[in-house]
Amino acid sequence: MAKQLSGDELAQLGRSLVTPTALTELAVFAGCLALAWAVVRLLRGPEAVRGSIWFGRNIVDGVLFPVAALVLALVARRLLQEALPLAVFRLVVPILVSLVAIRLTVRVLRAAFPESQLMRVVERSVSWVAWLGMVLWVTGIGPVLLDELDEIQWKMGGATVSVRNLIEGVISAVVVMVVVLWIAAALEARLLRGAGGNLSLRKMAANALRALLIFVGLMFALTAAGIDLTALGVLGGAVGVGIGLGLQKLASNYVSGFVILAERSVRIGDMVMVDGFEGRITDINTRYTVIRALSGKESIVPNEMLITQRVENSSLADPKVLLNTVVQVAYGTDLEPLMADLARAVEAVPRVLADPAVGVRLSSFAADGLELTVYFWIADPENGNGNVRSDVNLAILRLLNQRGVEIPFPQRVVRTG
């Protein structure tokens, strides 16, 4: 990091930025940026890895580019400090350090909490703090301010704590938590990659691993902040009482989430009906499960409901689903050949399975005609039932029209006195 600057040194730095040697430094720094871009481009390959923290979507919006630029700038500053009076590098090095801190925090938080709006606020706060720290460091105000904050002290138990200790502890805690979240996001992505049929089991392992790493990271962060962990015993008891009294549902949902993932009673991709809402399970979190209907609506179902209530699962043991449709034909119709033709016509409909075979049954002697029920199976209920039932009805209608079979309709005779 560059030396802290007093007021005179700051003025001298301003004058040195307009000297010819500053142009040489700018050229060297531009070369560092170009070399950093080339290195990242070579390591990334032709296409960016989706969700990569190191590379991002583009070459310059990941963590690796400012890190490579910072390393090259430090090397260049070391080589130039004996030959030139440094001015540009005394500014760009703190700027690159701030950029690395911001980029690392933002990329990690977006990977760990992609849908959280609170993380957007945290990202902006980290950015403001990092740039403010860089300005204070370059102007020389930072060290003076830290010395003043170190004089503000008070007793906490048997230890003496200053404002500077708290600030440094918070920064250390943030660094520890960012590193832990980075590791958790990387391991979760590795676990869920190519999960296939055991996606739910890997999801459970990923959730458990993330919870464990965050807990361990929190302990390290509290230690880095100077908080005595033995003092958390009373807090732990209070949290236990709070869970027992007011957080029963929340704790139950978390436990139920792990039970569901462990038992695999419902899995990601299953077609289920819960509390009258039917759809496909798209995600199972530790607290709730997301069910997406074919209409596009999504239902957020607490995991406890999947444990304590009846759940209709269309694809738990077998994804095949039996559907039926009803048609009436006129009395006097020769049914046996018609029923065989109906079965063959329905079997030709896309998505209708040949095994189990299509069945046609005479289900009722209705008031206006003979009622036939056509039973057929599909293996992809997640693609909808109404569309395949419509295709089956159209195939039946075409066959009846071709054979001239009458579809009866109610007739009423009105007699007037």
User: Is 18 a residue whose pLDDT tops 90?
Assistant: no
Domains of the chain: 7-150 (no CATH), 321-403 (3.30.70.100)
Q: How far is CA 301 from CA 198, 250, 260, 267, in A?
A: 22, 13, 13, 14
With CA atoms as reference, report the closest residue to 185 among 52, 360, 77.
52
The pLDDT tens digits for 29-74 are: 888 888 988 888 888 776 666 666 777 677 677 788 888 888 888 8
pLDDT band at 3 (very low <50, low <70, confident <90, very high): very low
Residue 121's pLDDT is 75
pLDDT band at 396 (very low <50, low <70, confident <90, very high): very high
Residue 227's pLDDT is 61
The pLDDT tens digits for 324-341 are: 999 999 888 888 899 999
The mean pLDDT value of the chain amounts to 77
C-alpha 76/C-alpha 35 separation (Å) is 12
Residue 148's pLDDT is 76
Residue whose structure tokens are 């090397």: 75
Beta-carbon count within 10 A of 385 CB: 15
C-alpha 297/C-alpha 283 separation (Å) is 14
Kindly state the tokens that stand for 295: 């209409």
User: Is 96 a residue whose pLDDT tops 50?
Assistant: yes
The residue-averaged pLDDT of 387-412 equals 87
User: Is 302 a residue whose pLDDT tops 60?
Assistant: yes
pLDDT band at 361 (very low <50, low <70, confident <90, very high): very high
Q: pLDDT above 90 covers what percent of the chain?
A: 10
Residue 195's pLDDT is 54
Type of residue numbered 326:
V
User: Is 412 a residue whose pLDDT tops 80?
Assistant: no
Residue 399's pLDDT is 92
C-alpha 225/C-alpha 171 separation (Å) is 8
